[in-house]
Structure 1
């Protein structure tokens, strides 16, 4: 069982730091991308309990997600600007996912992991 504590971070960089401490304490690299987060979960089986998940839902919600996409668009390459603009448009239209929802989807895509959200 691993516990992600939403009170330990309020943005994506902080989330990556929390994840790196939990999953990579004996490694010489840290998670820094959504793909990297997904990759480390292939090595994990069991329960992940996300404490203070409502705080994380708010912190990693619309505003931070909009900023995340806008930063990628302004950086340009190597990012797929057309795809990111589409994701940003969907977010603004209310049909896209927030970063929190993306992280949940990543965790839930791993069949050997049970996710428990504690508010």
Structure 2
């Protein structure tokens, strides 16, 4: 099968790591760049994954796009071990509707060095979309 996709035709979307230092601020940043001119705002990891399918933000479903994550090293630190631990601990404290046992397992994995940080989870979500290329800068 011939691949006629050309990087010059891909829409480029820029996430600025300097604009945020927490997961909530990340959601605000991606809402402003991916969902501008809509009333819908990202507020969860699942919601972030959902908008990457396109059709209700700045790009169409399956449109080839490039996400450039500027200052990704800062984001990797900001959304690293400490932020991830706090994220899981808050969900455990809140309890329902969260699956506390699953979240405790994720927290245990994180504490033993086997779990993913929020930054790694966000990168994995982006990379799970075949039509999206991610550039970490």
TM range (shorter): over 0.9
1:93 equivalent to 2:112? Answer: yes
Whole-angstrom distance in 2 between the partners of 1:57 and 1:64: 10
Task: Describe the SS at the equivalent of 2:42.
Answer: coil
| Residue 35 of structure 1, aligned match among 22, 33, 46 | 46
> What is the RMSD of the two structures over their aligned residues, measured on CA atoms?
0.6
SS at match of 1:96: coil
Report SS of the residue matched to 2:135.
Answer: strand
Q: Find the structure with the greater CA-based Rg.
A: 2
What pairs up with 1:41-80 in 2 under 5 angstroms? 41-43=52-54, 44=59, 45-80=64-99
The structure with the greater share of residues assigned to helix is: 1
Over 2 Å off, 4+ runs? none
User: What is the CA distance between 1:91 and its match in structure 2?
Assistant: 0.2
> In the TM superposition, what is the alpha-carbon distance from 1:29 to its structure 2 partner?
1.6
What is the rounded CA distance, in whole Å, between the counterparts of 1:29 and 1:2 in structure 2?
18
- In structure 1, the residue corresponding to 2:98 is in which secondary structure? coil
Relative contact order, CA 8 A, sep 6+: which one is greater? 1
Match of 1:18 in 2: 29
TM-score after normalising by structure 1: 0.98
